[in-house]
């Protein structure tokens, strides 16, 4: 008679007391790196996603506003009755602000090499400005003045 014995062997793994700690340390290191990146990125977000595009928009808006003012002055120049005394007044509206910032408009004489070539300078507190030529109007009649964006603005011709 054959007798078979069943043998049971058990392999026990040694208890790893450090596995719980190593996972915790791993999560703390990863969390620390993520917080460090967040601290570095937050100040850059304002510059890259808010201030940069706002300044870009402001510069283009100033150029558009300056071209509009120049066009209005040239249109007034086109209807001046030469040889007759006249007073012509026109009112126009400008945007109250550009990207939430106020601005002002000055008509200044041209550079030293062309002092009669008047130009429109639009600027604001942000340090951004735009300069637009008055298309030779300064050579014949001259223009001067300044305004802000608040309310209606007036262009007046007196001879």
Residue 15 has pLDDT above 80, yes or no: no
pLDDT digits (tens, 9 = 90+) for 54-108: 999 999 999 999 999 988 888 888 888 777 788 888 898 999 999 888 999 998 8
Write the CA distances from 134 to 4, 41, 73, integer angstroms: 112, 44, 8
pTM of this structure:
0.71
pLDDT at 36: 96
Mean pLDDT for the stretch of residues 145-150: 86
Residue 13 has pLDDT above 70, yes or no: no
pLDDT at 23: 81
Higher pLDDT, 21 or 112: 112
Ordered strands of the 129-133 beta sheet: 129-133, 119-124, 103-108, 145-148
- Give the separation between CA 84 and CA 23, rounded to whole angstroms: 92
pLDDT at 65: 93
pLDDT at 1: 57
Q: Where are the alpha helices (DSSP H) in the chain?
A: 19-45, 52-78, 137-140
Contacts of 136 (CB under 8 A, 6+ apart): 117
pLDDT digits (tens, 9 = 90+) for 104-146: 999 888 788 877 788 899 999 888 999 998 876 766 777 888 8
Q: Which two tokens stand for residue 141?
A: 């009649």
- Give the separation between CA 70 and CA 128, rounded to whole angstroms: 19
Q: Which two tokens stand for residue 131?
A: 């300069």
Residue 7: pLDDT band (50, 70, 90) is low
Mean pLDDT for the stretch of residues 28-52: 90
């Amino acid at each position: 008679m054959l007798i078979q014995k069943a043998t049971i062997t058990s392999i026990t793994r040694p208890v790893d007391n450090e596995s719980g700690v190593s996972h915790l340390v791993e999560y703390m290191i990863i969390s620390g790196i993520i917080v460090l990146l967040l601290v570095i990125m937050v100040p850059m977000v304002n510059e890259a996603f808010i201030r940069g595009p706002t300044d870009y928009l402001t510069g283009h808006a100033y150029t558009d506003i300056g071209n509009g003012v120049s066009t209005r002055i040239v249109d007034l120049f086109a209807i001046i009755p030469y040889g007759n005394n006249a007073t012509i007044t026109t009112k126009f509206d400008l945007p109250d602000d550009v990207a939430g910032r106020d601005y002002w408009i000055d008509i200044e004489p041209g550079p030293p090499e062309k002092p009669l070539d008047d130009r429109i300078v639009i600027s604001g507190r942000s340090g951004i400005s735009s300069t637009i030529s008055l298309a030779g109007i300064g050579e014949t009649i001259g223009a001067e003045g300044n305004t802000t964006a608040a309310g209606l603005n007036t262009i007046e011709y007196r001879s």
